[in-house]
Each structure stands twice: as C-alpha cells, then as structure tokens.
Structure 1
Amino acid sequence: MPLPRTTAQPPFEDACAQVLDFLRREIPLGHWSINRYDGERQVHLQVRDDTYGVRAGDHRAWDASLCARMVAGAPGIAPDVAAVPQYANAPVRQQAPIGAYVGVPLHDADGGLFGTLCGLDPLPQDRRLGQHAPLLDLLGSLLTAVLRSERSRDRTRQLTRWTLAGAAGSPLKGVLNRGAWYEFLTAADEQHRAHGDPARVAVFRAADEAAAARAAQVLRQNLRDHDVVADLGAGEVGVVLTRIPPVAGELCVGRLHRALTDAGLPVGVGSSVYSIADGFAAAWARAEAAAHAARVQHAAA
C-alpha cells in the first residue's frame, strides 16, 4: 500500500533545490548535485544534470568518487581534474568523462560528514572557476546550518512520534502495531527523502501469530533503541534498521535471523535497502515478498 506523502518540502530539501538552481544559472557546469555519504556510498539526493543522465537516488561507491578525495584533502575546485594527481586516476573517471570538478563538504549536526555539494563537467574549465570558491563555501555553510536546524527539529518531532506510537502500539513493550508502523513509515519517508539517511526494511514470517509475537520480543532485544519493530499481524514482523548502510544492514539482518533460530523460532526473512527513489513502501513490499518466498521454501524443505 502506498504511503501518503506530504506536499511541502522540508527546509533542507527546499534549500538544496534553491542552491542547485542558482548554481546551474551562475556556474553552468553539466552537473550539480547534493550528495549523501551513507558510510559506504555516495547517494545523489538532488540533481541538476544536463550531461551524465544521473537522477536522484542513483549512487556509487564512495571510495570511487572525486568527493571522497576532496574530503581527504584534494582541492575543492579543479578546473582540470587531469592536472590534479588525487583526481586524475579516480575510478569514477573510468565510468564517465570528467574534465572539471567542484566539491564542498557538508556537515551533520554532530559535526560528522553528511555529504557534499558537487559540480562536474566533461570538459576542463577556465582557471577563473577558482574565483567562485568564496561563494561555494558560503553556500556549503548555509546548507550545513539549515541541515543542523532541521535535525534538531526532527529530534523533537521524533520524541513526540514515539510517545504517540507507544500509546498506539501493541501490548509488547517497544513493539508497534500495524497502524503505528504506517505512521512511522509515513513520517520517516519525509525525513529520509530530504536527508538520504541510510536504512533497511526487513520482514520476518513466522509460523503463526503467537510465534510472531515471540519473534518480535527477541528482535527488540537484539536491536538498537532507534531501530523499529512492529507486530504486523498474520505471523509477520516488520523491522526498520535506521542509520545503517547497505552492507552493514544486510549483515545485521543475518545476525537477527540467527538470533531467532537460536531461540527456536524458525522464520522466513526478506530485506531490502531503502531508496529515496521509491520510498519505504516499495522497500517493505520487496522485503515482504522475499520473506514470503523464504517461508514457502522452508516449509517445502
């Protein structure tokens, strides 16, 4: 079932859009984007692209990117990337022609790396591109300030949501029911669409509702406080692993499956990485289908 979507953009999402539109006019490179570093990948949150065919939600390995090298100390503006040793042999240049690069780091509320503001063009640019450094630094600081303010607001809202969700949750402590699960995913879709926070949805299919209730308790005991567990009825338990990149999330689901097996609770399990391109509803549907198939296969064995 599709989740409802709010029409108003959160402040950070709106600020990113305005900054990219401005840069597209004032510094007409073939590609401008706001990117999220999720611990493993560079994920494109918003894109203005006339050259490479890149869309929001596309991603690549962080270590392959020019932004990874910029954050590590390479120049933030490279009118000719071939002339900069740190950039010249970057793997991403084997995938697409990149003649010029601009990168500005963006920092999260805790001071850690959130991602980057990035510009690319297939052709080298005039050296005067470097004159835009003060403007780019100012825009990076602006986006960082808006992000930090929004993160603070989101923490307050999350506390309110958890209070309400607890009231609407199942009798099991720390486990949501199906209605509260919908409420959580709806709210999370807005935040994750704007910020690109990495997440994974997992579904566990138990033999019956009693087994699912026990499985939910075991899962809750083996998860972090900010992860979400829901008893969805009909023998199904849903989990959202928050703030976790794809590979680490897959390993976590494997550990959870083993914990259930050790507790004498055989289940079918499926999981899917959240993507800003199609949201939590699609990730849940993929995980649910995989869990159902695993349960059927286990029953037939």
Structure 2
Amino acid sequence: MRDIMTTPTNDITPFADFESAGRAVLGTLSARFGFGLWMITRTEGADWIVLQTDDSQCPSKYRIAEGSVFNWADSYCSRMADGLGPRVTENAQQTHAYHDAAINQAVQIGAYMGVPIHNRDGSLFGTLCAIDPQPQNPSIHQDLPLIETMAKLLSSILAHDLKSIEQERALQKSQEEAATDALTGLKNRRGWDAAVLNEEARAKRYGNPIAIFAVDIDCLKEINDEQGHAAGDALITRAAEALKQVVRESDTLARIGGDEFCILALECDEDDSQKLMKKLRHTLSQYEVKASIGSAIRQPKLGLQHAIKQADEAMYANKEARHRLSGNTLRG
C-alpha cells in the first residue's frame, strides 16, 4: 500500500515575483500554442516596452529582444486595449482593426492574441500577447479564457509586487529620515552611529586607515540668545555647506549635536589627515564660520570609538587654546 505521507517528488513552490511568474506563463503558453513569439509588455506614455519574451518554439521567426521599445500607437495591443480590435484573430491581415496598423511595416504578423495586464487601480500596465507570421486555425478563439486568466493572475502578482515596493520605499524613506538632520540634510546622531559601526567592522577586516574629525561651532549659544534662533540656524547651515565642500564622496559627514559636526574620513592616514585639517580650516574661514576642530587616527587595537573620543578631546583642547589666545570665552 502506498504511503500517503510520502513527500511529492515535484513540489509546487510559489513564484518569487512578477518576473518569475511572467517567465513561467510565457513558457507555458508558448509550449501549448506554439506561436512564433510570446511577450509581456508595458506601456509608458507613447512607448511600448517589451519586458519579457519567449520564442522557444520558433526561435528563427522573430528577433525581438527584451528591452526593445516600439511606438504604442503602432501596435495591435493599443487597439485591443482601447476596445477597437479583438483579443484573438487567426488572420490579422483580414482583420479590419489590424490590417493597417503601422507595426505591420516592421513585423510580419499573420495571427495575434493579446489581453491587457492591469495595475492595482485598474489602469493599464501592459499586455500579455503573442504573434505568429502565419494565420492560425480559428480554434484558437477557444483558448482565450485561459490567456485572460493568465493575465489576471499576472495582474494580481504585479499588484502585490508594486505594493511591496511601495512599502519598501516608505520604510527606506522613514529610515533615512530617522537618520537625517532636518536642518542640514546631513546624517544625524543615529546615522552617524550606524556609519561608525559599519566602518569599524570593515576596518577590522581590511585594516584601512580612518581619520575622525570633531568640529564644534564657536559661540552658537550667544548667537541664539542675542540674534535669535534663525540666525543660529543660518550659521549651522553655513557650517554644513562649508564642510560639504571639503569631504569626499566616500566620507561620512554628520551633525551629531546642536553645534557639533563629525567627519569619518576613509583611507585617511596621518598625512592625509593634516591636509584635510588645513582644508577644513580654510573653507570654514571662507564661509565666515568660527569653529574648533580636533582629529584622531583610528588605531587598530583601539578602534573607532577610541578615535572619536580622542578627536573630541583634541577639539576641546583646540577650543581652550583659541580661548587663551583671544582672551574671550568660546562658548558653544
């Protein structure tokens, strides 16, 4: 007696996404009907974009590559989607809606099958369609319900995929906003901490040199108190713009406090650090921003957190030294 608990040899696994479902649908329909070319297309404005193709049954009949773009208005599918032409015709050249279509000048079409694929809101996404250079048996009309069902299934999977993409984008945007300083557009403390964590892990693996810079704007509190927070915000924004001019694309620049910025400079050794320090001082001066700056190089045995502490201590030492020279209190 057969064991009813035996695991089937061929598991039915769900499709991962619209693309994999589309491949399976095209393969199934091509094997069943044998048309010269099956396609999944998308319409975008005036363009008719070929997303996927299957010509496995008759590979020499058409040479339309995925990614090809045609004029949507020239296609049979545009007329079908507008309700001006039938979804199935065994002889396209004897079908009034199709015999004068401009696509006939580029592609030989004897028979056509096509159904719309819809977005979640009911708008047209594209089509599931097939063409063959030769007219076909009128019996192909009997198979229209199967093709329509396939298109509906693709529409459902498409809706799920697009919804997932929307949710992923919303989550990404939320995460980015949570890690972004609203005033300057730079990373905030959360974004900075995440960058430090990631780069420390890479530095442990590869040993690349990293420099940390701590930048503290002088007298921000006094400006806020005496001139108002709008003036203080303008100073912070000006400082951020100055720092952006200096850092490289690979570096991380963050505003981690009211008047404090930090820079994580990758592939930056002692000599590079000194050069970068000079650029920082020069550029801040050009932007008329007075600031105290400290730096430190990551030591392999001590890590980035220790370098951050050293850079912070060096910044405060710089502030005190400038205070002694000026005879004024450089308060934050």
TM range (shorter): 0.5 to 0.7
**1:132 match:** 143
Q: Which runs of 5+ in 1 are unaligned?
A: 1-8, 180-208, 215-231, 235-301
**1:55 match:** 65
Query: AA paired with 2:92?
Result: V
Bigger relative CO (Cα 8 Å, ≥ 6 apart): 1
Secondary structure in structure 1 of the residue aligned to 2:42 = strand
- Alignment of 1:26 with 2:63, yes or no, is no
Q: Cα RMSD (Å) of the superposition?
A: 3.2
- Compute the displacement of 1:112 (Å): 0.4
Query: AA paired with 2:131?
Result: L
TM-score (norm 1): 0.54
- Compute the displacement of 1:85 (Å): 1.1
Query: AA paired with 2:65?
Result: R
How far, CA to CA, are the matches of 1:40 and 1:175 in structure 2?
39
Query: AA paired with 1:58?
Result: S
How far, CA to CA, are the matches of 2:149 and 2:80 in structure 1?
17
**1:46 match:** 52
Query: AA paired with 1:82?
Result: Q
The question of whether the paired residues in 2 share the 8 Å contact of 1:81 and 1:98 is answered with yes
Query: AA paired with 1:59?
Result: V
Greater gyration radius: 2
The counterpart of 1:145, out of the listed 137, 156, 161, is 156
- Alignment of 1:115 with 2:126, yes or no, is yes
Residues 81, 10 of structure 1: alpha-carbon distance in 2 compared, 3 angstrom cutoff? same
- Alignment of 1:156 with 2:167, yes or no, is yes
The question of whether the paired residues in 2 share the 8 Å contact of 1:166 and 1:174 is answered with no
- Compute the displacement of 1:233 (Å): 4.8
- Alignment deviations for residues 50-108 of structure 1 (CA, whole Å, 9 cap, x no partner): 22211111110101111001111110001100111110010010111111111000000
- Compute the displacement of 1:25 (Å): 0.4
Query: AA paired with 1:92?
Result: I
- Compute the displacement of 1:166 (Å): 2.8
- Compute the displacement of 1:165 (Å): 2.6
Q: Which runs of 5+ in 2 are unaligned?
A: 1-14, 192-239, 251-332
Secondary structure in structure 2 of the residue aligned to 1:87 = coil
Residues 174, 139 of structure 1: alpha-carbon distance in 2 compared, 3 angstrom cutoff? farther
- Alignment of 1:66 with 2:76, yes or no, is yes
How far, CA to CA, are the matches of 2:177 and 2:77 in structure 1?
41
- Compute the displacement of 1:145 (Å): 1.0
The counterpart of 1:90, out of the listed 78, 96, 101, is 101
- Compute the displacement of 1:14 (Å): 1.0
The question of whether the paired residues in 2 share the 8 Å contact of 1:31 and 1:52 is answered with yes
**1:37 match:** 43
Secondary structure in structure 1 of the residue aligned to 2:117 = strand
TM-score (norm 2): 0.49
Secondary structure in structure 2 of the residue aligned to 1:21 = helix
How far, CA to CA, are the matches of 1:106 and 1:80 in structure 2?
23
How far, CA to CA, are the matches of 1:57 and 1:18 in structure 2?
18
The question of whether the paired residues in 2 share the 8 Å contact of 1:108 and 1:147 is answered with yes
Query: AA paired with 1:20?
Result: L
1:126-205 matches, within 5 Å, as: 126-168=137-179
- Compute the displacement of 1:155 (Å): 1.6
How far, CA to CA, are the matches of 1:128 and 1:168 in structure 2?
61
Query: AA paired with 1:45?
Result: L
**2:205 match:** none
Q: Percentage identity across aligned positions?
A: 33
Greater alpha carbon shift after TM alignment, 53-62 vs 158-167? 158-167
